[in-house]
Amino acid sequence: MDPEERPCADTWTKSSSGSESLQTRPTNTSFNDFNTQQTFSFNNPFGAQISVTSNLNNQKQMSDPQESNNTQDWDPRAMLNNLSFLEKKIHQLQDLVHVIVRRRGQNTGQADEILVQQQQLMTADLTSIIVQLISTAGSLLPSVKQTLCPESSISQQFGVTNQTAGVSDNVVFQHNNSVNKLEDPSDMTGFFGAEQNCPIEDHEMKSDDDADEGENLPPGSYEILQLEKEEILAPHTHFCMICGKGFKRDANLRMHMRGHGDEYKTPAALTKPHKESSSEPILIKRYSCPYIGCKRNKDHKKFQPLKTILCVKNHYKRTHCDKTYTCSRCNTKKFSVIADLKTHEKHCGRDKWLCSCGTTFSRKDKLFGHIALFQGHTPAIPVEESKGSAGPSNKVEQLEFKYKSDAPSGSSCRNVMDLEGSGEDPISYFSPLNFETSGIDGFQEFPRPPFEDSESSFSFLLSGSCDYPPKNGRYTGSNDME
Amino acid sequence: MKKQLVPESSFSRFDLLSEEIVFIILDFLNENPLDKKSFSRVSRSFYAIESRHRKFLKPLRSEHLTKILNRYRYVSTLDLSMCPRITDASLGVISGRCKEMLRSINLSRSKFFSHVGLSNLVMNCGNLVEIDLSNATELKDSAAAAIAGAKNLERLCLARCKSITDIGIGCIAVGCRKLRFLSLKWCLGVGDLGVGLIAVKCKEIRSLDLSYLPITSKCLSQILQLQHLEDLVLEGCFGIDDDSLAALKLGCKSLETLDMSSCQNVSHVGLSSLNSLAGCLQQLNLSYGSRVDRALADSLRNLSMLHSVKLDGCQVTCSGLKAIGNWCVSLKELSLSKCMGVTDEGLSSVVTKHKDMKKLDITCCRKITHLSLANITNSCTSLVSLKMESCTSVSAEAFVLIGQRCQFLEELDVTDNEIDDDGLISISMCAQLSSLKLGICLNITDEGLIHIGKCCLKLKEIDLYRSAGITDSSILAIACGCPGLEMINIAYCEFISDRSLKSLSKCSKLNTLESRGCPLITSSGLAAIAVGCKQLFKLDIKKCRNVDDAGMIPLAHFSQNLKQINLSYSSVTDVGLLSLASISCLQSITILHLEGLTPSGLVAALLACGGLIKVKLHASFKSLLPPLLFEHLDARGCTFQWRAKTFQAELDPKCWKLQLADAE
C-alpha cells in the first residue's frame, strides 16, 4: 500500500480502480484547517523563511519521480502533467463516491458481512487515492514559490540534504529548521486535522508510547533528536539525495540509488550502512516530540524521550493529530494510526464489555479498571441477556394474567377454570381442583369471625376446610389419566 | 389467651387498655404463631391492634399475599421462605403494598421470579436494607443489576447464585454503596474483578463471605484495605495461597474473624502473615487445611486477641499441639474435631495451659484415653460445651470425671462412647445441661437416665438414638423432669411404647420427635403427642409399623406447625396421607414403602398439600403418576427425590453396631 513507490501514474489508477471510500472531505479540510494551523503555532520565532524550506522538504517528499528529476528548475510541463493527473484522480474519486452513494441506497439496513468488507476495501483505496492527490497537489506548490523567492534554491538544496542524510542532521542542538511550519498549505496536519479536534482518548492504544517510561537514562547520555511535524507525518522516511524520491525502507532506497549511477551499485553501498559503523561507539539516540508543551518534548520539565522513530510517529499521530480513521464496523471508534484501526477492527464487535457510559472494552479487567476509576459508572448488562430472559418473562406475563384474574375476585375457581383451556401454565392444570384455591371459596363455608377475611393466608386452621373424603372422591378422576 | 371471647355488642373492658400496653403484651406472644391468631380473634379492636402491631410476617402461601399485606400494613420484615413459588406478580403485590415500609425480605427458598420482579421491588421499596436471594441459581446479571437499584441495602446474601458473574457484582458494587454484609458463597461466576470492585466501592463492608470463589491474591489485597472489615470467610478458596496472604502485612486493623477452612494452598509460611492482625483477630478457622505442626502453631503465637481456633479435620502433630499450649493467649474455644494425630500427650499439653476453655470439640479423636479426659476436666473446669463423639478409647470410668468437675456444662455430646450409668449419674450434677447426646451408648440404662431426668431440669435436647437399653421409665423421668424439652430422639429404642409418648405430650415445647424404628409405638401415642405438643414441626415415625391413619388424623387437626414428616415403612394409607395434606405448613414428606398407598391417593395428597417443597418417594411411583402432575408440582416449587431401595428388615441394635464396626 505505498503509492509513491510506484513509478508512474498509470499504476496508481489501476490500483485504485474498483473501490473507493467515503473520505472526500479531507482534501477540503486541509485548506479549511489552514487558519487554525496558523494560530496554533503562532509563537514560532523563525518566521517565513523556515516555512519555505519546509515546503521544499515537503515537495521532496511528495514529488513524483518524473518531475522530481527536474526539481532544480521549475518545469511547466511537469506541472501540467501533475495537473492532468490531479484531474484524472478527482474524476476517479467522484465516480467511486457515486458508486458508494448508489450502493448505500440499495442496501440500507442490510448489515451484511460482505458489504462491510467491500466498504472496508473502498475505504482503503479511497484513502490511498486521496493521499496521492494531496501529495501531488503539494508538489505543485513549492514550484510556484520557487519562482517567487530566488534564494529558496539554496534552502531547497539544504532541505534535500537534510532529508537524505536522515534524521541525524535534524539534531536539535544544530538549530536548524526544526520548528513547526505554519504556512505550509500542503501540510499534512491539515489532512489529519488540528490537534484540538482530537476526540475521545483511546486508553488502550496509549500503552506503547508509555512503554519506555521505566527507562531512566541520565540526561546527556543520549542524543536527542527531534523530527519535524512534516517528517513525522510524511509517509516516507528515506529520501533519495539526487531526485528526492521518498521510500519507506532504506533497502528500497538503496535499490533505487542504483539507477543513479554505477557508484551506487557497489556491494558496500548496497549493504546496510549501520553495519559498517558498528565499530564506532554508538551514541544512544532518543527522540523528542516537536509539539511544544508535550511531555515528550525536550523542553518539558519531566521530559521523557521516545525510543524510536516509530514511537515518535505513533505518538505524534495519536496525541497531536485528529483521529481520521473511523472503524467501518462500529462507526464510532476513531484512530489516527492505521495500525490501531486495524488492531481495533480485528476485535470490533467483539467488544463485549460495556460500561454504562457507552465505552466498550475488549477485556473485562479494563472495564473493571474503568469502573473502579469513575464514580457512577456501572457495568452494563449485555443486550443478549435481557433478551434471553424474554422467555421467562413471557411466562411471567401469563402468570400475571392468571394472577389478576385470580386474586381480586373471591370466585377464583371459575376464572381459573376458564383460563385452563388456554393457559399453558402448569400451575393452572389442576387449579379448579386445587385445594388452596378452593380454600378461598371453601373458606366461607366455615364459621369464622366476620372481620377475619385474610385468615386463609395463614391457613392455620384451614384443616377444617380440607375435608379429605369428598376431595378424594373428586380425585379419582385423575386416576383415569394413566 | 385462648377463649376470652367478649360479647361483641356490649362494652369491652379491653378497650380501656391503651394500644401501647396491648403492643407490649403482643411482644411476648412469640412462642407459637397460633397465639397471635387467637389473640386477634378476641374482638374487632384486638384484630385491628394485632394488624397494626405485626412487623414480621412469614406467609405460608404466596396466593394470599394481597390479603395479608392489606391487613398488615406495618410489616417491615417479610420472610417468604415458606413460599416456594414467588413470581414477579407476587413481588409486584409486595412492592405495591409494602412500599417504603419494607426493610427486609427473604427470598432464599423461593423460585420463579426474575429480574423484572426484583427491579419492581427495589424501585418501590426504597428502604430495603436486607435481601436474601440465596439459592436463586437461575438469576443472571440482569437480576443483580436490578438489586443494584437498592441504594440503602446493607445486607445482601447471594449464596449459590451461580449464574451471576463479575458484571452483576460490579453493578451491585456501584449501586449498593452502603453494603455491610455480603455473602457470595458458591457464586462461581464471580472472580477477582467483581470482588475487587466490591472492595473498591463498598467501603462500609463489615462481613464478607467469599467461600468457594475462584479468587486470588489480586482481590485479596483490595479486600484487606477495607477499613471496617470484621468478618472474612475464605472457605475453600483454592486460589488463595501463601503469597496472597502476604497482602495481610499491609495491615487490616479491624478483622476479627477469619475463616480459611479448606484453603489447601495455605501453609504456615502464609499464616505467619497473620501476625499483622495480632491486635484484632479473635476467631480463626483453619479446618481441613494444612498440617498443624510446630511451625504452623508458632506462626500464630503472637495473635494476642485470639480466643477461638478451629482446626477440624487437620493432620495434627503432638509438637503442634504442644506449641499451641505455649501460646501466650488463653483460648476459650478449640475445635479438633476429626483431627488425625491427636494424642493424650498433645491434647493434655493444650488443655492444661488453656484453662479458660469454654468450648472443646474433640469429636472422633479416637486415640485419646481417660488420661486426656482427666486433664480436660481437671484444668478446664469452666467448660460449657464438650463434644466428644466417638472417642472410643476413653474408658467408662473417665466420664464420671465430667460430672464431678465440669459443673457448668450446658452441652455434652458423648455419642458412641463407653459411658455407663455411673457416668450419667455423675453428669446429672451438671444442672445447667441443656443438650445431651447419648446416641449409640449401649452401656446406659434407665438408672442413669432417670437421674438425668431428675436433675437436669433445663434439658432442651436429648438424643438417645440406638441407646438400646432404654425403656419407658427413662422417658417418663425426662418428660416429667424437663418440661422445657424441645427435641428428643428415641430412634431404634425398641422398648419405648406409647407410655413414653403420652408422658412426652406434657412437654408443650417439644418441636422435634424422632422415634424411628420403635415398633411398640401406636397411633394412640402419636395422638397424645399431637394434642399436647402444638409446636411439633419435625416428626420421624419411620418403621413404626403400628402407626396408622388413626394417628394421622389428630396430627392433621392439632399439629398445625408440622413442617417435616417421615412416614416410611409405617402402616399409614391414602386416608392418613390425605388428612396430613391439610397441614398448611407441611413442606417435606418422606413416604417410602407405605403398603397402603395407592397412586390415586398419592396424587390427591400431593395436590392437596399446597406447601410441599420436597417429597421423597419410591421410584416405582414415577411411572404410575401422570406427567402433568409433575409439571404442576414443579411449577408450585415442589421437588421429588426418588429412592429405589428395596424393603429392608430391621436389625437388632447390637448387631447393627457390629456391622458398623465391620464396615470401618
pLDDT in tens, A399-419: 333 333 333 333 333 333 343
Size of interface A-B (CB pairs under 8 A): 197
Structure confidence at residue B336 as a pLDDT band (50, 70, 90): very high
pLDDT for B65 beyond 80? yes
Residues in chain B with CB shorter than 8 Å from the CB of A410 are: none
pLDDT for B650 beyond 80? no
In this predicted structure, what is the pLDDT of residue B36? Answer: 84
pLDDT for A204 beyond 60? no
Alpha-carbon Rg for chain A, nearest whole angstrom, is: 37
Q: 3-state DSSP: chain A helix, strand, coil percent, rounded to 5?
A: 60, 5, 35
Which of A364, A468, A471, A481 has the highest number of chain B CBs within 10 A, making it the mutation to test binding with B?
A468
CB distance B497 to B525 below 8 Å: yes
Q: Decide the pairing of beta strands B155-157 and B512-514.
A: unpaired
Spatial distance between the Cα atoms of B558 and B322, rounded to a whole number of angstroms? 56
Nearest to A454 by CA among A471, A473, A439: A439
In this predicted structure, what is the pLDDT of residue A386? Answer: 53
In this predicted structure, what is the pLDDT of residue A274? Answer: 56
Nearest to B307 by CA among B271, B274, B332, B280: B332
Give the amino acid at B360.
Answer: L
pLDDT in tens, B124-176: 999 999 999 999 999 999 999 999 999 999 999 999 999 999 999 999 999 99
pLDDT for B63 beyond 90? no
Residues 6+ apart with CB under 8 A from B394: B368, B369, B370, B372, B373, B388, B417, B418
Spatial distance between the Cα atoms of A154 and A160, rounded to a whole number of angstroms? 10
Nearest to B75 by CA among B101, B43, B49, B107: B101
Cβ contact A389–B41 (<8 Å): no
Burial of B7 (0-12, 13-18, 19+ CB in 10 A): exposed
Q: Which of the pair, B366 or A441, is modelled with greater confidence?
A: B366
Measure Cα distances from B511 to A211, B397, B585, B643 in Å. Answer: 70, 34, 14, 27
Q: What is the rounded average pLDDT of the residues B75-95?
A: 92
In this predicted structure, what is the pLDDT of residue A265? Answer: 74
Q: Which of the pair, A344 or A199, is modelled with greater confidence?
A: A344
Q: What is the rounded average pLDDT of the residues B547-552?
A: 93
Please name the residues between 182 and 241 in chain B that touch chain A, using a CB distance below 8 Å: 193-194, 196-197, 200-201
Q: What is the rounded average pLDDT of the residues B558-583?
A: 93
- In chain B, which residue's Cα lies nearest the Cα of A437? B63
Spatial distance between the Cα atoms of B419 and B451, rounded to a whole number of angstroms? 14
Q: Where is average pLDDT lowest: A62-71, A205-214, A290-299, A455-464?
A: A455-464
Give the amino acid at B448.
Answer: G
In this predicted structure, what is the pLDDT of residue B158? Answer: 95
In this predicted structure, what is the pLDDT of residue A420? Answer: 38
pLDDT in tens, B2-60: 445 444 555 667 777 788 888 888 888 877 777 888 888 888 888 888 899 889 999 98
Q: Across the interface, which of A426, A458, A468 has its CB nearest the CB of B634? A: A426
Q: Across the interface, which of A435, A457, A479 has its CB nearest the CB of B600? A: A479
In this predicted structure, what is the pLDDT of residue A107? Answer: 56
In this predicted structure, what is the pLDDT of residue B364? Answer: 93
pLDDT for A14 beyond 90? no
Q: What is the rounded average pLDDT of the residues B357-382?
A: 93
In this predicted structure, what is the pLDDT of residue A106? Answer: 62
DSSP B489: E
Question: How large is the angle between the packed helices B19-27 and B44-53, nearest 10 degrees?
Answer: 70
Structure confidence at residue A338 as a pLDDT band (50, 70, 90): confident
Q: Which of the pair, A279 or A376, is modelled with greater confidence?
A: A376
CB distance A192 to A30 below 8 Å: no
**Nearest 5°: phi and psi at B539?**
-135, 125
pLDDT for B71 beyond 70? yes
CB distance A78 to A67 below 8 Å: yes
Spatial distance between the Cα atoms of B388 and B416, rounded to a whole number of angstroms? 9
Rounded to a whole number, what is the distance in Å from the CA of A209 to chain B's nearest CA? 26
**Strand, coil or helix: what is B344?**
helix
Task: Tell me how far the alpha carbon of residue B495 is from its chain's centroid.
Answer: 30
Q: So what CATH class is B511-664?
A: alpha beta
Spatial distance between the Cα atoms of A331 and B308, rounded to a whole number of angstroms? 61
Residues in chain A with CB shorter than 8 Å from the CB of B90 are: 403
**Nearest 5°: phi and psi at A250?**
-60, -40
| Cα-based torsion angle of the residue sequence A308, A310, A315, A317 in order, rounded to the nearest 10 degrees | 150
Q: Where is average pLDDT lowest: A134-148, A314-328, B236-250?
A: A134-148
Q: Count how many Cα atoms sit within 13 Å of the Cα of residue A437 in the half-sphere of its side chain.
A: 24
Cβ contact A456–B142 (<8 Å): no
In this predicted structure, what is the pLDDT of residue A196? Answer: 38
Q: How many CB atoms lie within 10 A of CB B31?
A: 11
The percentage of residues in chain B with a pLDDT greater than 90, rounded to a whole number, is: 73
Q: 3-state DSSP: chain B helix, strand, coil percent, rounded to 5?
A: 40, 15, 50
Q: Which of the pair, B125 or A299, is modelled with greater confidence?
A: B125
| Cα-based torsion angle of the residue sequence B165, B168, B174, B178 in order, rounded to the nearest 10 degrees | -90
Q: What is the rounded average pLDDT of the residues A429-440?
A: 44
Q: Which of the pair, A146 or B278, is modelled with greater confidence?
A: B278
In this predicted structure, what is the pLDDT of residue B124? Answer: 93
Spatial distance between the Cα atoms of A432 and B233, rounded to a whole number of angstroms? 49
CB distance B287 to B310 below 8 Å: yes
Q: What is the rounded average pLDDT of the residues A216-220?
A: 68
Q: What is the rounded average pLDDT of the residues B458-481?
A: 93
- In chain A, which residue's Cα lies nearest the Cα of B583? A463
Task: Tell me how far the alpha carbon of residue B446 is from its chain's centroid.
Answer: 30
Instruction: Give kind and range of the element (H or E) at residue B92.
Output: helix B88-98
Structure confidence at residue B357 as a pLDDT band (50, 70, 90): very high
Q: What is the rounded average pLDDT of the residues A429-435?
A: 49
In this predicted structure, what is the pLDDT of residue A259? Answer: 81
- In chain A, which residue's Cα lies nearest the Cα of B534? A460
Average pLDDT over chain B reads 90
Average pLDDT over chain A reads 59
pLDDT for A307 beyond 60? yes
Q: What is the rounded average pLDDT of the residues B308-315?
A: 94
In this predicted structure, what is the pLDDT of residue A272? Answer: 62
In this predicted structure, what is the pLDDT of residue A49? Answer: 41
In this predicted structure, what is the pLDDT of residue B332? Answer: 95
Structure confidence at residue A243 as a pLDDT band (50, 70, 90): confident
Instruction: Give kind and range of the element (H or E) at residue A103.
Output: helix A76-106
Domain-wise residue ranges, chain B: 17-53, 511-664
Residues in chain B with CB shorter than 8 Å from the CB of A440 are: 63
Residues 6+ apart with CB under 8 A from A129: A12, A16, A20, A89, A92, A93, A96
Q: What is the rounded average pLDDT of the residues A206-217?
A: 50
pLDDT in tens, B477-502: 999 999 999 999 999 999 999 999 99
Nearest to B500 by CA among B481, B524, B472, B527: B472
